[in-house]
Amino acid sequence: MDLSRRKRFVQNGSSPISAVRPHLEGRTEGSSAHTLEMAKADHRFGQRDGSDQNFDYMFKLLIIGNSSVGKTSFLFRYADDSFSNSFVSTVGIDFKVKTVYRNDKRVKLQIWDTAGQERYRTITTAYYRGAMGFILMYDITNEESFNAVQDWATQIKTYSWDNAQVILVGNKCDMADERVIPVEKGKHLADQLGFEYYEASAKENINVRQVFERLVDIICVKMSERVDTDPSVVSGAKTTRLSDKPTQLPQNCC
């Protein structure tokens, strides 16, 4: 069998050397694709001004919640408008980028999708710090995922910046027959936690865009509040740079 394999090799006319090229090629390819992308973006908006990279603000969002509540599907629905019934557990973290036009501004969203499984918690919590907004998701057909919301909220409090905005989303609202968490219960919990609340379905594309847009709006409002009403933040902290000492991070975590 080994012999035949080797032969096939020769047949294909590929030398073993080509097997090592991936790295180099992959890199150049990616980067050139990227530059091209930017050139294109510039071109499209008729701006050669590199500082305006086709967007005004960049928001980082994070989707969290128990495993299999539909975080990835939610993101895919929003970013790609696609949906697949098959379940692929997210490995660690992942993100997608989408630019939306809200309130006369182009907002580039970097949306992080996290693995719900505990084994990746070390990695996922590391990304809480950067997130300006959270989508905390549970599955309306899965009580356990709902019961965990409180814990997730605690995680947000523990690891995120204190002014991060959160929206609670009950996903899979298309599955009315299997619903175990009534709307009121979700709403109530959201009120308690001080989050906004939506029920959504990635599958049926219900409220997906709305959730993201609402979150963007909330963050925009916070941003103007922060900058326009409290200019001391801007001028006073002019010279502050973030320090790289993770003082605010819990030291003992895993």
* Closest C-alpha among 195, 213, 197 to residue 100: 213
Phi and psi at residue 252, in whole multiples of 5°?
Answer: -90, 0
Nearer to another protein, 60 or 172 (CB): 60
Closer residue to another protein in complex, CB, 88/176: 88
Nearest approach, Cβ of 178 to another protein (angstroms)? 19
Give the number of other CB atoms < 10 A from CB of residue 84: 10
| Shorter beta-carbon distance to another protein: residue 20 or 176 | 20
Binding residues for another protein, how many (CB under 8 A)? 117
**Which of these ranges, 13-21, 169-177, 185-193, 206-214, lies near another protein under the rule CB under 8 A?**
13-21
Query: Rounded to whole angstroms, how far apart are CA atoms 55 and 99?
Result: 7
Q: From the list 35, 103, 192, 210, which residue makes contact with another protein (rule: CB under 8 A)? A: 35
* Helix axes 183-193 and 149-159, enclosed angle (nearest 10): 20
Which strand ranges, in their side-by-side order, compose the sheet holding 57-65?
A: 93-102, 105-114, 57-65, 133-139, 165-171, 196-199
Cβ(57)–Cβ(223) below 8 Å? yes
The Cα-based distances of 227 to 58, 161, 235 in angstroms read 15, 17, 10
Report, in Å, the least distance between residue 49 CB and another protein.
Answer: 5
Question: Within positions 176 to 195, which residues make up the interface with another protein, using CB under 8 A?
Answer: none
Q: How far apart are CB 232 and another protein at their closest, in Å?
A: 9
105 vs 188, beta carbon nearer another protein:
105
Residues 6+ apart with CB under 8 A from 150: 189, 193
Instruction: Tell me how crowded residue 189 is: count the other CB atoms within 10 A of its CB.
Output: 20
Contacts of 109 (CB under 8 A, 6+ apart): 58, 59, 60, 61, 97, 98, 99, 100, 212, 216
Among 101, 143, 144, 183, binds another protein (CB under 8 A): 144
Q: Could you tell me the smallest distance in angstroms from the CB atom of residue 186 to another protein?
A: 18
- Kindly tell me which residue out of 74, 127, 138, 195 binds another protein, with binding defined by CB under 8 A: 127
Tell me which residues in 201-240 interact with another protein (CB under 8 A).
222-229, 231, 233-235, 237-238, 240
**Interface positions, 36-95, toward another protein (CB under 8 A):** 36-41, 47-53, 56-60, 66-67, 72, 76, 79-80, 82, 84, 86, 88, 90-95
For residue 24, state whether it binds another protein (rule: CB under 8 A). yes
